[in-house]
Structure 1
Amino acid sequence: MIAILSAPSNLGLRPPEPGGVPGAGKAPEALRDAGLFDRWSARDARDAGVVLAGRYVDDDRARAPGMVRNESALVEHARRLAERLTRILDAGDTPLVLGGDCSILVGIGVALSARGRAGLVHVDGHTDFRHPGNSDQCASVAGEDLAAAVGLHWPAISDIDGLGPYFEPHRAVHIGHRDDDEEAAEAARLLGLVVPAREAITIGPVEVAARVRAVAGAGYWLQVDLDILDPTVLPAVDSPDPGGLDADQLIALLERLAPAAVGASVTILDPDLDPDGRYARLVSDIVLAGLARLGQAVAGSDS
C-alpha cells in the first residue's frame, strides 16, 4: 500500500526576501486542497500523517561560518522524518513523501542508510551538487541535497548519526539539469549516471529508465523536484529555468521509474506563486498518473 506522508519543510531554502519565509512548506496542504489525497485514497492509499518542521528563520546575519540555514531545525526534522519513514517501511508500505523543499532528502537518506542503503534517482532541474568543496556559498540545503546525500557536505548535514554517505555515489543517478548547470561536470564524474534534461527528452523515457536500472538497481529512492518541468508548464517553483520537460514527458518518465522505487518524494511546489491553485491541480494530475505504480516491482522487498 502507498502511504502518503506530508513533510512541509521549507528549511533548506533561501528567504524570498530579507526576513521573508519561503512558501514551499505549504505545498502538501495545497495538494490536499487540490484533491490529491482523496484521489489516492480511492486507490487504497493511506494518509500517513505529517512530520512538521521547526520554524523557518532568516538567520543570515547570525549564522556561524560552516553552517547551513536553519541547521539545527533541519537536522531535527531529518531525524523525525527518518523515524516516520522507518515505521512506514517496516509496515511493508511504500512511502510517498510530499514536501516541502528537497532538503527532505537528508531525512530520507538517514532512514534508508540505517536499513542498509538504497540507490537514488534524483529527478531535478538542477544537480543540487553545490558543496563546501566546490563553493564558498553553501547555505541552502535545497540547492545542495544531492551532494549531501552522497557524503560531500559538512558532516552535520551529510553524516547525521554516523550514517553517511546516505547513498553510495556509484548507485546515484541525476536526471534533468539544464546545460548551464555549474556543478554538472563534477556530478557526472562522481555519480553513477547524469542525464541532462535535453538528453532525457531526446532519448526518451524508455532508454532513460533502462540506463537508470543498470546503475541504481531495484529498490532505489525516487526524488522528484518539480523544477524539472519547464517554467512555461510550472512557474510556481523556487528556481524556474527554461529547457525543462513538459507534463506529458515527466509523466512518461515517472511511469517507467516508479515501479522499481522503494518510495518517492515530490518537492518544491510554491503555493505562494499559485494563488488560484491551478498548478497544484496540475501537480496532482502528474503525481497521480506518473506514480500510480510506485513500488510495484519491489513490493515486499526491503531497501
Structure 2
Amino acid sequence: MAEPNIVVLDAPSNLGLSPPEDGTVPGCYKLPWAVRDRNLLELIDAADAGSLVPPRYRANWEPGDGDRNAESIANYSVTLADRLTETIQSERQIVVLGGDCSILIGNMLALKRRGRYGLVYLDAHSDFRHPGHAKAIGAAGGESLVIVTGRGDVRLVGLEDHGPYVRDEDVSVVGVRENDEYIDELTEIGINTTTSQQMNALSSSQLADQVLRTVARNTTGFWIHLDVDVVDAREMPAVDCPEEDGPSFNDIAELLARLLSSPACIGLEVTIYDPDLDPNGECADRIVECLRKAFRNNADN
C-alpha cells in the first residue's frame, strides 16, 4: 500500500489568546478533536504525526507585560519547530491543527532553519498590532503576522537568532477585511494584500497566480496559514472574532486546492475554530469538508 502524501500534526495551543471571559480559557485547543472526530484523516488520506501538548494556559496579564504567556509560547514554538522539522523530512505535505494563530511562530521558525520561505496568510485580520503603534500588546495570536515578520514582543521575534522568520516581500495576506486598522501599514511596508472585497473580482486561478508570484518566486517554498475566521461569519461564527463580508468555505477550498497543488507548498495550519462556540458541530463539518475538497481537488490538478 502506498504511503499517504499528507501527514497531520496537532498543535492545540491556546496560549496566544485572551480569556473569553473571567474564569475561562479559549476553547480553540479543542479544534483537533472536533475535526478528527469527523474522520478528517481518513477523508484526506493522511498519516498521523501525533500531538504536541502545550504548556498550561495562564490568564494573568497587565498592560505593559508584553504578550500573555510569552515565555511558554517561545518554548512551545521551539518544540513545535523541532517536530515540524522531523515531519518535513518525510517530503509529504503537512497539516498542523491548532490552536490559535501563535502556532505560526513555531511553524515558520522550522522553515527559517531551512532557508527562505514564503507565507500565505489567510485571515480576516492583519494581526499586525505591535509596540510601534499600540499602547499595549497582549495576545500573540492577534499579533502573529507582526511577530513572524520581526516586529513584536522581543521574547518571540528572534528565537534561535532566526528572526524575522519570513521577509515582508515573501508574504501574501488574503481575505483581510477592508476596515482592518492596520491594513494601510501593510501596504506601506510592501506586504502584498488582497482584501476580501478584492477577492470577489478575481477567479480562484487568478488569485492563486497572484499569491504564488509573491510567496514562491524568490523562496525555497511556502507555508499556508488558515485562520478560519477568514470565512464569512454566516458560515463560520464559531471563532473569537467573526467577521462579515468574507469569502465562503467553497471559495477558500478552491484557492487552497490551487495553492496545495504547487510543488513549493510545504503545507498549512488551521487555527481559531472554537468548538465551545459550535454546540451542534456544524462549523466543524464545514471545516472538514473544506479541507476534503481542497486536497481532493489538489489531487485532481
Q: TM-score range by the shorter chain?
A: over 0.9
Aligned residues: 292
- Give CA deviations for 1:30-80 in whole Å, capped at 9, x if unaligned: 11112212323xx2x20000011111111125xx73521111211111011
In the superposition, relative to structure 1, how do residues 295 and 131 fare at CA in structure 2: closer, same or farther (>3 Å)?
farther
Q: How does 1:69-148 map to 2 (within 5 A)?
A: 69-148=68-147
Aligned to 1:48: 49
Aligned to 1:59: 60
List runs of 5+ in structure 1 lacking aligned partners: 298-303
Matched to 1:52, the amino acid is: V
In the superposition, relative to structure 1, how do residues 263 and 244 fare at CA in structure 2: closer, same or farther (>3 Å)?
same
Q: 2:276 aligns with which of 268, 272, 275?
A: 272
Per the TM alignment, residue 295 of structure 1 is displaced from its structure 2 partner at its CA by 9.9
User: Aligned partners of 2:97, 2:33: CA distance in 1, in Å?
Assistant: 9
Per the TM alignment, residue 204 of structure 1 is displaced from its structure 2 partner at its CA by 2.4
Q: What SS is found at the alignment partner of 2:201?
A: helix
Per the TM alignment, residue 293 of structure 1 is displaced from its structure 2 partner at its CA by 6.3
Q: 1:222 aligns with which of 196, 221, 224?
A: 224
User: Aligned partners of 1:111, 1:295: CA distance in 2, in Å?
Assistant: 26
Q: What SS is found at the alignment partner of 1:203?
A: coil
Is 1:231–2:233 an aligned residue pair? yes
In the superposition, relative to structure 1, how do residues 181 and 217 fare at CA in structure 2: closer, same or farther (>3 Å)?
same
User: 4+ runs of 1 displaced by more than 3 Å?
Assistant: 291-297
User: Aligned partners of 1:258, 1:117: CA distance in 2, in Å?
Assistant: 18
Aligned to 1:241: 243
Deviates more, 1:259-268 or 1:102-111: 259-268
In the superposition, relative to structure 1, how do residues 294 and 102 fare at CA in structure 2: closer, same or farther (>3 Å)?
farther
User: Aligned partners of 2:76, 2:200: CA distance in 1, in Å?
Assistant: 35
Q: 1:257 aligns with which of 249, 256, 259?
A: 259
Is 1:6–2:10 an aligned residue pair? yes
**Two-structure CA RMSD over aligned residues (Å):** 1.7
List runs of 5+ in structure 2 lacking aligned partners: none
In the superposition, relative to structure 1, how do residues 293 and 76 fare at CA in structure 2: closer, same or farther (>3 Å)?
farther
In the superposition, relative to structure 1, how do residues 268 and 140 fare at CA in structure 2: closer, same or farther (>3 Å)?
same
In the superposition, relative to structure 1, how do residues 134 and 193 fare at CA in structure 2: closer, same or farther (>3 Å)?
same
User: Aligned partners of 1:295, 1:183: CA distance in 2, in Å?
Assistant: 36
Matched to 2:268, the amino acid is: A
Q: Is the 8 A contact 1:263 1:295 kept in 2?
A: no
Q: How does 1:166-245 map to 2 (within 5 A)?
A: 166-217=165-216, 219-245=221-247
Aligned to 2:33: 29
